[in-house]
Chains A and B, each alone.
Chain A
Amino acid sequence: MTSKIINMAERIKDKEDLALEALFRSDPVPDDGFTASVMAQVRRTIWVRRLSMPIAVAIGAAISAKPLIQAVTIVPGLLSSIFGSSVGFDRLPVDSLPQLSTMLIGATLLMAVIMGSRILED
């Protein structure tokens, strides 16, 4: 009930209200391709979002593929070294371990690609 009274009070217009309405009155703005332009940007945003993660994953995978394969191939040797001898750590094939720097670079690039795609999206 109170809100109805308030709404009624808002609808009662005095001279200033009418003058202000006249002052602010304007014709509708024609579209003139505005909607199409907004929708083009929206669709671009959708595609960027859809593609950014797969691209980032693909790039990250490409960079980390080599050290990853090395890591996988070393596992049997590593396990046999550990379980074959109680003190076999000195015989580990350290040379074939994936290099830490390569992995760090790969991870950094992956982060950069993800962040870059977010910036592009914004």
Chain B
Amino acid sequence: MTAVAGDDDFELVARVVARQDASAFGELVRRHQSHVRNFLRKLTRDYTLADDLAQDAFLHAWDKLHTFRGQGTFIGWLLKVAYTTFLQSKRKSNRYGNVLEAISHEPGGGAVEDSNEVSDLDRFLAVLTEEERAVMILSYACGLSHREIGEAADMPVGTVKSIIFRGKEKIRDIFDIEDHQYG
């Protein structure tokens, strides 16, 4: 039986775990690569590094898929793997530190994207700590619930809420919310 695009995530995961079904895993990658890459791109602000990390994250996911217990969404679990991969990579490499430093000193100067909105994003991300950055991205870019963020970032829901509260205070300080153009 081959993987079908209509199958839900849990069914595909079950196929991978039970039969090492590579085509089912391929469908999961195709389905979620955008979320994972977007998350890591926003976290690192370096597209090449982010895509490398995304590849590593999916390989880790392949290895650890049997640990997914079906509690919460699959994308929540996958983003947790991606975040862990990011943290492990950061510990090993100075490259991320250099990118982060460049962003901190030149807000908006990274030019990873070329719209004004991304310049605002760079300015905002530059004033956040790494933990705050991850939580805010998981919440506002990936649309995870507070509980899912807590699981992904390995922190209590109360901490997630306080980080988001702090992030909102910072955005209030940086941007004039009344005049800011949003959807």
Name A's B-contacting residues (CB within 8 A): 6-7, 10, 14-26, 28-31, 34-35, 37-39, 41-43, 45-46
- Which of A20, A22, A24, A46 is B42 in contact with, Cβ under 8 Å? A24
How far does the Cβ of B101 sit from chain A's closest Cβ, in whole Å?
22
Which of A6, A39, A46 gathers most chain B CB within 10 Å?
Answer: A39
A46 touches B59 (CB 8 A): no
User: Given A18-B182, A31-B30, A39-B26 in contact, is the A45-B62 Cβ separation under 8 Å?
Assistant: yes
How far does the Cβ of B144 sit from chain A's closest Cβ, in whole Å?
10
B55 at the interface (CB under 8 A from A): yes
A39 touches B182 (CB 8 A): no
In the complex, chain B residues whose CB is within 8 Å of the CB of A25:
117, 141, 183
B33 at the interface (CB under 8 A from A): yes
How far does the Cβ of A47 sit from chain B's closest Cβ, in whole Å?
11
- Which of B51, B62, B183 is A34 in contact with, Cβ under 8 Å? B51
8 Å CB interface, B39-90 against A: 41-42, 51, 54-55, 58-59, 62
Closest 3 CB pairs of A and B: A22-B182, A24-B141, A16-B168
In the complex, chain B residues whose CB is within 8 Å of the CB of A43:
22
With A41-B55, A42-B26, A46-B20 given, can you name 14 additional A-B contacts, CB distance below 8 Å?
Answer: A6-B146, A7-B145, A14-B168, A16-B168, A19-B177, A20-B139, A21-B182, A21-B183, A22-B117, A22-B182, A24-B42, A24-B137, A31-B33, A38-B59
In the complex, chain A residues whose CB is within 8 Å of the CB of B105:
none
How far does the Cβ of B165 sit from chain A's closest Cβ, in whole Å?
10
Instruction: Give chain B's interface secondary structure class.
Output: helix
B41 touches A23 (CB 8 A): no
In the complex, chain B residues whose CB is within 8 Å of the CB of A46:
20, 22
B167 at the interface (CB under 8 A from A): yes
Docked complex Cα distance between A20 and B136 (Å): 9
In the complex, chain A residues whose CB is within 8 Å of the CB of B41:
29
A10 touches B145 (CB 8 A): yes
B120 at the interface (CB under 8 A from A): yes
Residue of A nearest to B182 (CB): A22
Residue of B nearest to A11 (CB): B145
In the complex, chain A residues whose CB is within 8 Å of the CB of B182:
18-19, 21-23
User: Given A18-B183, A42-B25 in contact, is the A24-B121 Cβ separation under 8 Å?
Assistant: yes
Docked complex Cα distance between A23 and B168 (Å): 12
B96 at the interface (CB under 8 A from A): no
